[in-house]
Amino acid sequence: TEPVCECNSCYSGPDCSHFLTDCIADANGGDPLFLEPFWTQHAASSAVVVAGWHRMSYSYNNNGFISKELERLIRKLHAVVGNAVTQNRYIIFGAGSTQVINAAAYALSPDNSSSPAGIVASVPYYALYQQQEEYFNSAKFKFQGDPYTWRNKTDSGAYTIEFVTAPNNPDGRLNKALLQGPNVKTVYDRAYYWPHFTPITAQADEDLMVFTLSKLTGHAGSRFGWAVVKDETVFNKMTIHMQINSMGVSRDTQLRAFKLLKTALKGEGRELFDFASQTMKARWEKLSSIISLSKRFSLQKINPEYCIFYSKVREFSPAYAWVKCEREEDKDCYAVLQVAKITGRAGNAFGAEDRYVRLSLIRSQDDFDILIQRLNKLVSEENGAK
Ligand code: PMP
């Protein structure tokens, strides 16, 4: 018979309890299932029931395709966390931040320039910015790699869009923009700027900031993201993009996002953040204590900073481990880990050397436990062989 649950790739059997000792630890994708236990604890209060007749229209009472209630709740969320200024700012929704990032690239490109805007992001960077540019192949923008190599063009007036990922995917650092100038536009991808992953060092106040439900509540499958935008013209262009691209975000998704955020913000609105940051802290400490015993592998090191949400100095607890293979001969770190039955994501996917591999720490508890088991074995073999 079919199992009643969907087994992790390392388990089988009708109740997924049989451990497959030879399986491969999956630390590849950024599926944020580490938050699942929070939502099983709040199953009833976070549930949504939608009657058949509800919200059938393209619009909210002939007033656009953004739920004003949800917009208000998002402003409240940012005020509670203190991670972004939203007063006197516009907010736009997208199908995940994936669609919002695309809308931003279109909105920030020049209307009638003979040459496309250069899109840049510092290495190691999240691959999507480049993939979207290459796939959509627009006359408006072109991916140009690292800001350092494009800097001279910017200085001579070329239109530039810099994507700044803060905290960064893959290495968790709070990146800052590298380029400035009259024709430079900056998009801050703030997908991970939540107490789960980083000290909240200041209320972010950039011109265009992108957020997502995916890494906040863990509901990557609902496909809900938003941007906080200073400039009205940019906001209007992004709105037109969303209209032409998809007529806005599914009303069902907006309702689900509303219910989830409402549940998360109940009471003092800290419970989700406490759960998420404690989980990530425990995972990071476990992982770093193993890697600290190794000379063959090393991890990114980020100095602690003062967190305005927790009112104390805090360590980072990043969503991903950015592992470096230190031995001269281990040029392909992905292959080294594959031999040890660990699947990560190779450095070249982030414009970096293959001496680096990203390991996801935000997956389910089973995935994380198996990863730790495999890493423990790998590092103890290294030390035993000395
Ligand atoms: N930005 C960053 C930095 C990400 O890591 C991700 C997802 N891994 C996204 C954007 C896109 O996420 P989504 O479309 O689910 O909002």
247 in the same domain as 311: no
The domain that contains 36 carries what CATH number? Answer: 3.90.1150.10
Q: Does a structural domain hold residue 63?
A: no
8 pLDDT band (50/70/90 cuts)? confident
Q: Does a structural domain hold residue 290?
A: yes
- The pLDDT tens digits for 306-332 are 999 999 999 999 999 999 999 999 999
345 in the same domain as 231: no
Total domains present in the chain: 2
Q: Does a structural domain hold residue 28?
A: yes
- The pLDDT tens digits for 31-60 are 999 999 999 999 999 999 999 999 999 999
- Which one of 199, 232, 264 terminates a domain? 264
Q: Does a structural domain hold residue 72?
A: yes
What is the pairing mode between strands 312-314 and 305-307? antiparallel
The atom number, within ligand 1, closest to the CA of 95 reads 14
Give the closest residue (by CA) to ligand 1 atom 2: 191
The domain that contains 92 carries what CATH number? Answer: 3.40.640.10
377 in the same domain as 259: no
- CA of residue 383 to ligand 1 center, whole Å: 37
- Which one of 212, 241, 264 terminates a domain? 264
Does residue 386 have a pLDDT over 60? no
235 in the same domain as 137: yes
Select from 223, 22, 233 the least CA-distant residue to 107.
233
Assess contact for 309 and 195: CB atoms under 8 A: yes
- The pLDDT tens digits for 70-116 are 999 999 999 999 999 999 999 999 999 999 999 999 999 999 878 99
What is the pairing mode between strands 225-229 and 208-212? antiparallel
Q: Does a structural domain hold residue 306?
A: yes
Q: Does a structural domain hold residue 129?
A: yes
Q: Report the share of the chain in percent with pLDDT over 70.
A: 98
* Residue whose CB lies within 8 A of the most ligand 1 atoms, among 100, 215, 216, 217, for a mutation test: 215
- CA of residue 97 to ligand 1 center, whole Å: 6
Say what the pLDDT of residue 11 is. 85
Mean pLDDT of 148-167: 95
Mean pLDDT of 264-276: 96
For every residue of 160-178, DSSP letters joined together read: EEEEEESS-TTT-------
94 in the same domain as 214: yes
290 in the same domain as 217: no
- CA of residue 191 to ligand 1 center, whole Å: 6
Does residue 15 have a pLDDT over 90? no
Q: Report the share of the chain in percent with pLDDT over 90.
A: 91
What range defines the domain where residue 31 resides? 11-40+270-384
Say what the pLDDT of residue 37 is. 98
Does residue 271 have a pLDDT over 60? yes
132 pLDDT band (50/70/90 cuts)? very high
- CA of residue 128 to ligand 1 center, whole Å: 8
* Residue whose CB lies within 8 A of the most ligand 1 atoms, among 169, 196, 253, for a mutation test: 169
Say what the pLDDT of residue 5 is. 63
Per-residue CA distances from 3 to 20, 24, 25, 288 (Å):
15, 20, 21, 35
327 in the same domain as 280: yes
199 in the same domain as 153: yes
The pocket around ligand 1, CB under 6 angstroms, is made up of: 30, 96-98, 126, 165, 169, 189, 191, 212, 214, 220, 225
Q: Does a structural domain hold residue 190?
A: yes
On whether ipTM exceeds 0.95, the answer is: yes
360 in the same domain as 274: yes
101 in the same domain as 132: yes
187 contact partners, CB below 8 Å, separation of at least 6: 101, 104, 105, 108, 161, 162, 163, 164, 208, 210
The atom number, within ligand 1, closest to the CA of 101 reads 10
- CA of residue 61 to ligand 1 center, whole Å: 31
351 in the same domain as 321: yes
- Which one of 233, 264, 295 terminates a domain? 264
- The pLDDT tens digits for 207-231 are 999 999 999 999 999 999 999 999 9
